[in-house]
Amino acid sequence: MKLGIVIQRYGAEVTGGSEQLCRLVAERLAAQHDVEVLTTCARDETTWKNEYPEGADRVRGVTVRRFANTRTRDAAAFKRSSDRIYDNPHSRADEMEWLRQQGPWCPALVEYLRRHARQYDVVIFFTYRYAPTVLGLEIVPARSVLVATASDDPAMQLDIFKEVFGRPAALCYLTDSERRLVHGMFPALPPLEDVTGIGVDLPQSQPYPRMPAPIDEDEGGDDSSPAAAGSPESPGNDDTDTVREFPSHLTARGAVFRRRHRLHGPIVLYGGRIDPGKGCEELVEYFDRYVKDGGAATLTLMGVKLMALPEEPYIRFAGLLSDRERLQALEAATVVVCPSPDDSLSLLALEALSVGTPILANARSAALVEHCVKSNGGLYYADGDEFVECLKLLVADERLRAAMGRNGRDYVRRNCRWDVVLGKYERIFAKVRNAR
């Protein structure tokens, strides 16, 4: 099957939830199908500046066709336009102008899709709110699948998005809460839909220093939970001898990350864009309250820094880490905090759960609350007081953390397996192709 994937930006270096989801799905689908990604040359969503070269490229086994944007985003003008359009009566032309100002504005991509649409058996659009999706869905509605990644966003109320959600042949959701949100907002939806979710790779057995014991062999991989942090040698482990070659302070869970970044005591970890829009400003404020209330943890932030961080001894910036270091950080963390108020994906939360670290999520994000409640692997906060209390509880109670870690791993193992996720996609693709 030849699959076309349309996404606003694509690349291994691109940070962003839906972009990462798209890349992970594309890489896995590429093993079975002929996958072609149609995207723009932009890397930064705040400017949509053309940074990648135009033309065909190959990224981790996936063919990528990039098209140049004709304009960059004027942030001030876009904000003005957003304010006007959200609060005042407006026409469809106004909404299209808003879409153009939001970017990426890439007529070449749309034109290419118009000319070559027949080549693709199914065209998958990631993220509902950008121009390539809005305009591309008009071209191939019957063969299109929309992975909406919708969240409670004022933009969803615009009329152009009613058409976007009504047009595709199938809709894919990441969580049940996203599905409920979309159903609540749009009456006319395609009959074919499914909660496909996202897959997370469970960390496999690795001798040193990350994961001394195999995960899937014993009951829930308890030995890798935070409670068992100090017991790297476990009976029946093939790598025991290898592990024993190293001192205990190196094989302990998360020891490498802790030593590398000179972190002592409990760690509260955040990973992703460090941005007020992602709830980081609120996170810092709440964490400050936690420390003033007697908390002794260190807030460690990893990712791209897009806001100033206070010069406090209990706030550390770890920078942009590699996948391996990121995993080590998640293991080293006492609690992983997910402060984004409108996160529909929350890959960070799932990754944290997969390594057995409990999460503390923003209660405004329905998807995160759903993960917490369904997995029993994390708590959620609606205000500063709840943040402080939840964090105190999680930091203080090691047994609770261990139990939540076990629950989280079980949840990810049950619900976020890539074979299950890809199976759902395959079924949808088959139905869309057969329906023509």
- Interface residues toward another protein, by CB under 8 A: 247-250, 256, 258-265, 294, 296, 298, 311-319, 372-373, 376-380, 385-386, 389-390, 392-393, 396-397, 399-400, 402-404, 407
Question: Least distance in Å: CB of 291 to another protein?
Answer: 9
Nearer to another protein, 89 or 313 (CB): 313
Q: How far is the CB of 349 from another protein (least distance, A)?
A: 13
Q: Shortest distance, CB of residue 383 to another protein, whole angstroms?
A: 9
**Element holding 135 (H helix, E strand):** helix 131-139
Nearer to another protein, 182 or 318 (CB): 318
C-beta of 247: minimal distance to another protein in Å? 5
In the complex, the smallest distance separating the C-beta of residue 372 from another protein, rounded to whole angstroms, is: 5
Judged by beta carbon, residue 3 or residue 329, the one nearer another protein is 329
Residue 272 in contact with residue 339, Cβ under 8 Å?
no
Shorter beta-carbon distance to another protein: residue 58 or 399: 399
CB-nearer residue toward another protein: 315 or 421:
315
Please, what is the minimum distance in Å from the beta carbon of residue 397 to another protein?
6
Q: CB-wise, 21 or 338, nearer to another protein?
A: 338
Q: Residue 433: which of 15, 7, 102, 123 has the closest Cα? A: 123
Is there a contact between 16 and 9 (Cβ–Cβ < 8 Å)?
A: yes
Q: Which residues of 236-260 are buried (b: 16+ CB within 10 A; e: fewer)?
A: ebebeeebeebeeeebbbbbbbbee
Written as one string, the DSSP assignment of 246-308 is S-HHHHSTTHHHHHHTT--S-EEEEES-B-GGGTHHHHHHHHHHHHHTT---EEEEES-B-S-
Least distance from C-beta 244 to another protein, angstroms?
A: 14
CB of residue 390 vs another protein: minimum separation in angstroms?
Answer: 6
Q: Which is nearer to another protein, 213 or 379 (CB)?
A: 379
The length of the chain, given as a count of residues: 436
Closest separation in Å from C-beta 129 to another protein: 31
**176-to-148, 380, 403 alpha-carbon distances in Å:** 13, 18, 25
* Residue 213 φ then ψ, to 5°: -110, 145
Q: Nearer Cβ to another protein, position 165 or 380?
A: 380
Helical axes 92-102 vs 75-87, angle rounded to 10°: 150
Is residue 360 within 8 Å of 379, Cβ to Cβ? yes
Termini Cα distance of the chain: 14
Residue indicated by tokens 């964490």? 287
Question: How many helical (H) and strand (E) elements, i.e. helices and strands, does the chain have?
Answer: 17, 14
- CB 273 within 8 Å of CB 367: no
Nearer to another protein, 131 or 263 (CB): 263
What does each C-alpha distance from 254 to 165, 199, 236, 259, 315 come to in angstroms? 43, 23, 22, 9, 18
- Smallest distance from another protein to CB 281, Å: 19
**C-beta of 277: minimal distance to another protein in Å?**
23
**Minimum CB distance to another protein, residue 338 (Å):** 14
Cα–Cα distances in angstroms (integers) from residue 432 to residues 100, 171, 196, 279, 435, in the given order? 30, 11, 15, 38, 5
Q: How many CB atoms lie within 10 A of CB 399?
A: 9
Distance of CA 229 to the CA centre of its chain: 27
Nearer to another protein, 115 or 244 (CB): 244
With respect to another protein, which residue has the nearer C-beta, 230 or 277? 230
DSSP-derived secondary structure for 347-367: HHHHHHHHTT--EEEETT-HH
Q: Which of 143/258 has CB closer to another protein?
A: 258
Paired tokens of 148: 């909406």
Q: ∠ CA(298), CA(304), CA(309), 5° rounding?
A: 45
